[in-house]
Amino acid sequence: MEICAHTLQTKFSLNDELVELLVCRLKLSNNVHSCIAILLGELIRAKLEVPRQVKIRLLVLWLPLFCYADNGLAYPVLTGYEKAEMERIMDEMISGLPSMDQEVILTNWLQDFTMSTSDWPNLQTSYDRWCNSTRKLIT
């Protein structure tokens, strides 16, 4: 974070207090993403019977934030392994939902994913599975 603070001071001529505030916000943002990643992971690993509405709300609230999370200025929000694990967990949560709920989650994800500069989370597998299953329902 020292490199980040120095960059903010030199490139943007920001005073020490503002730099400290911005750096604290970056740290908090990274910690929030890590916390929700741990929460979702533990929900799946513990094999708890989480109500459908709770899963939907978790995904609807947090998926856009993951789409727009960048790698931070000094260190990544999540490591490559954590990102892959989160995609697997989200895929598992989504696949356990009814088709109509999957549609809502994946439509929202696709909009956020295409609008963000990030290539993560890539839920293409979930989206393809949902498309194939709904095609089978139609035919």
The whole-number pLDDT of residue 43 equals 78
The whole-number pLDDT of residue 25 equals 53
User: Cα–Cα distance between 107 and 13 in angstroms, integer?
Assistant: 42
The whole-number pLDDT of residue 29 equals 56
- 10-residue mean pLDDT profile of the chain (139 residues): values are 44 51 52 73 78 89 80 61 88 93 95 87 95 88
The whole-number pLDDT of residue 116 equals 85
DSSP of the chain, one letter per residue?
Answer: -HHHHHHHHHHH---HHHHHHHHHHHHHHHHHHHHHHHHHHHHHHTT----HHHHHHHHHHHHHHHHH----SSS-SS-HHHHHHHHHHHHHHHHTS-HHHHHHHHHHHHHHHHHSS---S--HHHHHHHHHHHHHHH-
User: Cα–Cα distance between 124 and 37 in angstroms, integer?
Assistant: 19
> Residue 12 to residues 6, 24, 28, 93: CA-CA distances in angstroms?
10, 17, 22, 43
Q: Around Cβ 125, how many Cβ atoms within 10 Å?
A: 13
The whole-number pLDDT of residue 31 equals 65
The whole-number pLDDT of residue 34 equals 72
User: Cα–Cα distance between 44 and 89 in angstroms, integer?
Assistant: 7
User: Looking up tokens 């993951």, which residue turns up?
Assistant: 66
The whole-number pLDDT of residue 125 equals 95
- Identity at 38, one-letter amino acid code: I
